[in-house]
Chains A and B, each alone.
Chain A
Amino acid sequence: ILNVEQSPQSLHVQEGDSTNFTCSFPSSNFYALHWYRWETAKSPEALFVMTLNGDEKKKGRISATLNTKEGYSYLYIKGSQPEDSATYLCALSYNTDKLIFGTGTRLQVFP
C-alpha cells in the first residue's frame, strides 16, 4: 500500500507570516508529484506538477521543492494572506494515471 503523508495536519498563522508544510512519499517508482489547493466550497486547484529530483517551482508567493531520492516535497508560502486559507493536498502518481493523495494540511491565516 502506497502511503502519502502530509504534515502538519493543520496550521494557524498570522497574516504576513511565512509558512511551510511537508509531503512524504515512497520514492521507488515515482513518476510525478502534484500539489493542489482546495478552498471550501470550490474545486481543488492545481498549483504544481513536479517530476525531477531537485525541481523547484514558484507561483507568486508560493513555491515548492522536490526530493525524489529521499521521498519528500516542501510547499512554502511567503507572507501568508487570509485568501491563502485552504487545504493543501499533495498527490503522487506512480506508473499509472491515478493520483494517490495525502490527507492534506489545513491552513488558516488570521488577519
Chain B
Amino acid sequence: GAGVSQTPSNKVTEKGKYVELRCDPISGHTALYWYRQSLGQGPEFLIYFQGTGAADDSGLPNDRFFAVRPEGSVSTLKIQRTERGDSAVYLCASSPAGGSYNEQFFGPGTRLTVL
C-alpha cells in the first residue's frame, strides 16, 4: 500500500520568504508527526497531531512555524520569514493510533534550503 508521501521533495527559497511543506499520511492513521533534521544532527521533534488537533507542539522553535491538519489527514507545515538556519530535512511520520510503543512510519522528507 501507499506509504507516507511528502511534497515537494526539494525546496529552495530565499531568506524572508514563506514556504509550505505538505505531508500525506498513510490512510487511516490518526497520529501525524513532524520532525526536522539539521546537518549533523538526529531528527528533532516539532509537532504531533492526533486527528485534527495539535496534541503536542512543544518542538516548534518559534512563532514563525505553524502546522495544520484541518481534516485529520493531510498536514501542512508553514514557515514564515524563512531564515538560513531553517535549512534542514523536514520529515513527516504517521502512526495508526499514536502512543509511545507504536511504530511511526516516515515519509522521505522535504529538503529545504534557504539561501
Contact = CB atoms under 8 A, between A and B. Distances in A.
Contacts, number: 69
Interface in A59-111: 89, 91, 93-104
A4 interface: yes
A51 B103 CA distance: 12
Interface residues of A, number: 28
Nearest to A93: B100
Contact of A99 (B3, B45, B107): B45
A103 B17 CA distance: 29
B50 to A, nearest CB: 8
Report the 4 A-B pairs with minimum CB-CB distance, sorted nearest first. Answer: A101-B42, A93-B100, A31-B100, A98-B45
Given A4-B42, A42-B108, A89-B42, A98 B56 contact: yes
Nearest to B108: A43
A72 to B, nearest CB: 17
Contacts of B3: 43
B106 A101 contact: no
Contacts of A34: 103-104
Interface of B: 3-4, 31, 33, 35, 40-45, 48, 55-56, 58-59, 91, 95, 98-109
B108 A32 contact: no
Given A98-B45, A101-B43, A103-B42, A49 B101 contact: yes
Given A34-B103, A89-B42, 9 more contacts: A32-B101, A36-B106, A43-B4, A43-B105, A43-B108, A49-B101, A91-B42, A97-B55, A104-B42
Nearest to A6: B42
Q: Interface of chain B, helix or strand or loop or mixed?
A: loop
Interface of A: 4, 6, 31-32, 34, 36, 41-46, 49, 51, 89, 91, 93-104
Contacts of B106: 36, 43-45
A98 B42 contact: no
Contacts of A46: 103-105
Contacts of A97: 31, 33, 48, 55-56, 95, 98-100
Most chain A CB inside 10 Å of its own CB: which residue of B55, B100, B101: B100
